[in-house]
Amino acid sequence: MSHPRNTVPMQASSRCGAQTRNGEACRAPALRGKSRCRMHGGAWGSGAPFGNSNAVKHGYFTSEAIDERKFIRTVLIEAETLLRRLSAGSETARNPDESETKCTTPGTE
């Protein structure tokens, strides 16, 4: 390069205080008014959003929902067993008098 670079302001600026993966401090310059560089959260909009929207419960695993599902499951099982008993009972007791009663028209016997 034909002209000298003015690197004095950059070298005099404060450094990022983040710890890198190898355990050393980040040597990038911190952003103006921040203690971190652009790569470690100093940039506008970086970091987590305000509030923790991931922790909001959707309601599927609340104790009320679990109890409701257990109740519905037991009601369905009871209904199924009742229907099976009714259908099994109706097979044997469908027409108990069928063998005893004969359909005859008057005057044929």
Q: Give the tens place of pLDDT for each residue, 21-47.
A: 899 989 888 888 888 888 888 777 776
10 vs 39: CA distance, rounded Å: 16
Q: Is the pLDDT of residue 97 over 60?
A: no
Token reading at 102: 């004969």
40 vs 38: CA distance, rounded Å: 6
Q: Which amino acid is residue 36, in one-letter code?
A: R
Task: Give me the mean pLDDT over the 40-67 stretch.
Answer: 78
Q: Give 66's pLDDT tier (boundaries 50, 70, 90).
A: very high
Q: What sections of the chain are H helices per DSSP?
A: 8-12, 63-92
